Structure 1
Amino acid sequence: MSTYVVTGCAGFIGSNLVDRLLAVGHNVIGIDDFSTGQRRFLESSLKSERFRLVELDLLDIDALQRAIKGGEFVLHLAANADVRFGTLHPRRDLEQNTIATYNVLEAMRANGINQIGFSSTGSVYGEAKVIPTPEDAPFPIQTSLYGASKCAGEGLISAYCEGFGFRACVFRFVSILGERYTHGHVFDFYRSLRANPNELPVLGNGKQRKSYLYVQDCIDAILLAMEKAPEKFNVYNLGVDSYCEVNDSIGWICEALKVSPRLAYSGGDRGWIGDNPFIFLDTARIRALGWTPKLTIKEGVLKTVEFLQANEWVFGARD
């Protein structure tokens, strides 16, 4: 079996990925600075002798080089994912997304590791003119600092593939849902309804159209691509073949919680600066490898609500 390095190992996707890798017999070196990751998500993994946790900041390149020694594959998920508030702290995206990715690549090079999977985002397409959006769609003007920082990370990775013989899979996600979810619209709506079940503030007009993907389907795609991707530099959109309005998701959440709040819209066709009112990705390329998502968007939303109902401690952990 192989040894994987997972950055952001205590996060939502990262901790689920660590569990999956251990379950199939791999060794895992997990790296997290716990700025947003949760130690409780690693409770099961920490019981395995095949898991080693290293707490460090990816900006500490010397410590990072030491930490990943012995790894064979790097799955780089650590990032600042706070798209909505990017304009309030622009340097955070630069440091945690772009510079941290450079440090990961240099630490890999120092250790003779040449295979990487990278969590990018569908936000790199900005407000795409082609819907559903394929991987080779023309890149428009970047509309968020998060998307711009991820685009820069992709550029660095492709250059390392060309210059140093790396092999990479870049994953452009839609929003991910499911167990251990602690960031995004379902989290925000659930928290708001806990505080006041009679009224729900909604950014924009609720008609924003978005696609979502269940976390275990996401992990299936990542591991399949790392095994079967044919090129030196590979880019895959990850999502389902449908989308929903924010209003649809609100309806499913409220039905699950048995509440009927008054919806208080802020107005406009988007929620914040850089919010794309329509995200729908073409996933033919990853499907060609044999991947098919198992859950619909609605099922993913309901799985997320179930997790939050059973783990309300996460709201205090993220306050």
Structure 2
Amino acid sequence: MDLQGKRILVTGGAGLIGSRLATRLVADNDVRVVDDLSNGIRESVPEAAEFLQGDLTDEAVVADVVTEDLDAVFHLAADKYVNTDRPREQMEVNEAMTFNVLERMDEVGVDNVLFTSSSTVYGEAPMPTPEDYAPLEPISVYGASKLAEEGLLSVYAHSHDVTVWNFRFANIVGPRYGAGVVPDFVYKLQQDPESLTILGDGRQEKSYMHIEECIDAMCHVVERSEGEMNTYNLGTRTTTSVTRIADIVSEEMGIDPDYEYTGGDRGWTGDVPKMRLSVEKLSAIGFEPELSSDESVRRGVRDLLDGAENEPHLG
């Protein structure tokens, strides 16, 4: 799908990824954003976009924002906390939002949807993990909710003539406080630059991708693949350990804190200790991430520090 001259709805468009995606799209498209602002910032939505505040578990809100004049829905709205203390609510909310959006799209004849899934659908899988790896056995409720949503998307792709672009993300970093180890370390060390508590043993190792490369990759895939169900991993070819992230944050802040580890091979129940996604499928259609995982983390830390005085803390 050519991303020019289109009418596009971005759900969750006040969040880190959604707001950056909306900002990229408004230059050449007519963009509508919906967000309940539970973990997004209204000021992050580009001025050129139409904004509506609303909860997509409410079918009336979905009816207002998913209209027949749309060319596509870019569905990023979600309860994103991997270590949530509200697992049933997270599962129900994520499934309800996606089902509501898909049902309404079918009702009004919108047949293109982009969805942001997660590496957590794979569970503890061999690395690098390709898109066709099976069986998919998530170990967190968040991963299970994303896998359930992917199932719904598959139904609409194969039985309702909807074109789906399904992205399984590595860890995305950028200029916004929020959930995740990078902003968590920045925030903690701003409060106490002398010491840092690190969950687990610090050897957890994952792939990190900078938000700008993530948006570039998403747009690249949408413009170059038009199958029924287009599933792509987005990440880098390298990984970064939790201790290395602490080192990078400390270096960028110009401090030398003591580290204290809580122990164990993971930070919390449901945490995948090691993750690196295969990006061969992405590379095959002409997109190669330029930044390594370390470089992505460092750039994300600089983004956070540069914007710290102007951005509220959401995590």
The TM-score with structure 2 as length reference comes to 0.95
RMSD: 1.4
Confirm whether residue 100 of structure 1 aligns to residue 97 of structure 2.
yes
Match for residue 9 of structure 1?
13
Match for residue 160 of structure 1?
156
1:64 to 50, 62, 65: 62
- The aligned amino acid for 1:22 is V
Matched residue SS, 2:26: helix
Match for residue 307 of structure 1?
303
- The aligned amino acid for 2:236 is V
Distance, in Å, in 1 between the alignment partners of 2:98 and 2:310 is 27
Q: CA deviation at 1:315?
A: 6.8
2:8, 2:70 within 8 Å by CA — same for their partners in 1? Answer: yes
2:254 to 230, 253, 258: 258
Change (3 A) 1:213 1:13: same
Distance, in Å, in 1 between the alignment partners of 2:314 and 2:220 is 32
Distance, in Å, in 2 between the alignment partners of 1:304 and 1:182 is 12
- The aligned amino acid for 1:83 is V
Matched residue SS, 1:292: coil
Matched residue SS, 2:146: helix
- The aligned amino acid for 2:30 is N
Matched residue SS, 1:31: strand
- The aligned amino acid for 2:24 is R
Distance, in Å, in 1 between the alignment partners of 2:61 and 2:240 is 43
1:178, 1:303 within 8 Å by CA — same for their partners in 2? Answer: yes
2:174, 2:304 within 8 Å by CA — same for their partners in 1? Answer: no
The TM-score with structure 1 as length reference comes to 0.94
Distance, in Å, in 2 between the alignment partners of 1:64 and 1:298 is 39
Gaps in structure 2 of 5+ consecutive residues: none
Change (3 A) 1:124 1:15: same
Q: CA deviation at 1:305?
A: 1.8
Match for residue 227 of structure 1?
223
2:43 to 40, 45, 57: 40
Matched residue SS, 1:66: helix
Match for residue 91 of structure 1?
88
Alignment of 1:113-152 (within 5 A): 113-128=110-125, 130-152=126-148
Gaps in structure 1 of 5+ consecutive residues: none
Matched residue SS, 1:253: helix
Q: Which has the higher helix share?
A: 1
Q: CA deviation at 1:140?
A: 4.3
- Deviation by residue 1:173-232 (Cα, 9 ceiling, x = unmatched): 001011235221111101110111111000000000100111111111111111211421
Distance, in Å, in 2 between the alignment partners of 1:313 and 1:72 is 38
Match for residue 200 of structure 2?
204
Distance, in Å, in 1 between the alignment partners of 2:18 and 2:56 is 15
- The aligned amino acid for 1:110 is E
Matched residue SS, 2:168: strand
